[in-house]
Amino acid sequence: MTIDPNEFDDIRPYNDDELPVIFDELIDDPAFQKAAESVMPGLPPEHLRQQLHACKSKTEFQKKFCYGILHRIEEEHTDGVTLDHSALPDQRRAYLYLSNHRDIILDSGFLSVLLVEEGMDTVEIAIGDNLLIYPWIKKFVRVNKSFIVQRSLPMRQMLEASARMSRYIHYAIGQKKQSVWLAQREGRAKDSDDRTQDSVLKMLAMGGEGDIAERLAQLNIAPLAISYEYDPCDFLKAREFQLKRDLKEAYKKSTQEDLVNMQTGLFGYKGRVHFQMAPSLDEFLESLDRSLPKQERYAAISAHIDRQIHLNYRLYPGNYAAHDLLHRSTTFAGRYTMEEKRRFTDYLDTQLAKIQLPDKDEPFLREKMLLMYANPLTNHLAARL
């Protein structure tokens, strides 16, 4: 199938030869200057312009500007970030890393840094246009190797946009030999019950050639399990659960809430963070029963990806303590000390105290937060059966 790269011009990352013009547009934007000042205080705009223009590629830009910020976040707001890539020994291959989703920015950001430290290339990142609330953000993410997922479209246009994005991902992996990161579902699982949406697989199968399994096999899909010891946005997610319960359809998440989630995720405490690669889907897709109806094939593939992610979670004492607290049991008491349990419950109390609501339902909010930390263990145990 012949693909015309020009059809992706308004969604793809910028080409390296386009960067000088974009750098100037960013520096001339007062909103970008204000954002840059917050992370690089005291650096005059013209000095920043010179430093940007010294970057001749997107990867150079990432290493010079983004990685220092990400390393600072790791040092100040985590207890270490690690990667195990051993399930994918061929480091020359371009993969579609399909992962659960915990943080809007850091899931893909930490992954890129870890891959570079392993001697591999960074990933291109799928990012929803709902997060691109200012013109400078859309430009910035495309400099940072992101491509745009168009979400706010009428149904017919949405199908066309999905097909184009699928063609782009096939093009990136098959022709550019560029690895891609994509979340297994639209948005984050608020309760950490990570499940692959069949619609994501259907989108991916719009591109390529052959049957469903053959089209997906062309993407070298590798499930990726991301495990944060603590989720700094947990109290915001719990608050959203109560608002949805109380207001139902009247509740609509605002742009300001998205910004607060991004900022809290970046600068909140995360404890230990681990990225665990699972084997690629190659063998599974090859063995898939082609006689199954389409919908059952998608369901089988989704279930396999989910099992691989659930099996490869890194579980922390708080996950075991949360499970016992949620179920009022001592089943996993051997997996944490009393000090570790106290640390987790103190953390939970601190996070709950941050929730501001006129009719704050603390038992409901506490249960939702316990569920967020218990679900990875619940799913891990089920995957081992």
Over residues 123-152, the pLDDT tens digits come to 999 998 888 888 999 999 999 999 999 887
Asked if the model's pLDDT at residue 336 lies above 70, the reply is yes
Tell me phi and psi for residue 213, to 5 degrees.
-65, -40
Chain center to CA of 381 = 23
Q: How far apart are CA 141 and CA 14, in angstroms?
A: 9
213: tokens are 């399994």
What pLDDT is attached to residue 108? 95
DSSP labels for 223-263?
EEEEEESS-TTHHHHHHHHHHHHHHGGG----HHHHHHHHH
Over residues 225-275, the pLDDT tens digits come to 999 999 999 999 999 999 999 999 899 888 888 889 989 999 999 999 999
What pLDDT is attached to residue 130? 83
Over residues 272-285, the pLDDT tens digits come to 999 999 999 999 99
Q: Provide the strand spans (E) within the chain.
A: 81-84, 96-99, 124-128, 146-149, 180-183, 221-228, 273-277
What pLDDT is attached to residue 159? 93
**Sorting pLDDT into bands at 50, 70 and 90, what band is 153?**
confident
Spatial contact of 148 and 129, defined as CB atoms under 8 Å apart: yes
Residue linked to tokens 């001697």: 119
What pLDDT is attached to residue 345? 98
What pLDDT is attached to residue 199? 95
The pTM of the full predicted model, rounded to 2 decimals, is: 0.95
What pLDDT is attached to residue 132? 87
What pLDDT is attached to residue 191? 96
What pLDDT is attached to residue 326? 98
Asked if the model's pLDDT at residue 99 lies above 90, the reply is yes
Spatial contact of 117 and 174, defined as CB atoms under 8 Å apart: no
Spatial contact of 360 and 309, defined as CB atoms under 8 Å apart: no
Q: How far apart are CA 77 and CA 84, in angstroms?
A: 21
Return the ∠ at Cα 308 (arms to 212 and 97), rounded to 5°: 65
Over residues 341-362, the pLDDT tens digits come to 999 999 999 999 999 999 999 9
Asked if the model's pLDDT at residue 1 lies above 70, the reply is no
Spatial contact of 11 and 132, defined as CB atoms under 8 Å apart: no
How far is it between the farthest Cα atoms of the chain? 64
Residue type, 172: A
Tell me phi and psi for residue 82, to 5 degrees.
-130, 160
Other C-beta atoms within 10 Å of 161: how many? 18
Which domains does the chain show, CATH number per domain? Answer: 5-232+268-314 (3.40.1130.10), 318-384 (no CATH)
Other C-beta atoms within 10 Å of 235: how many? 22
Mean pLDDT of 21-50: 92
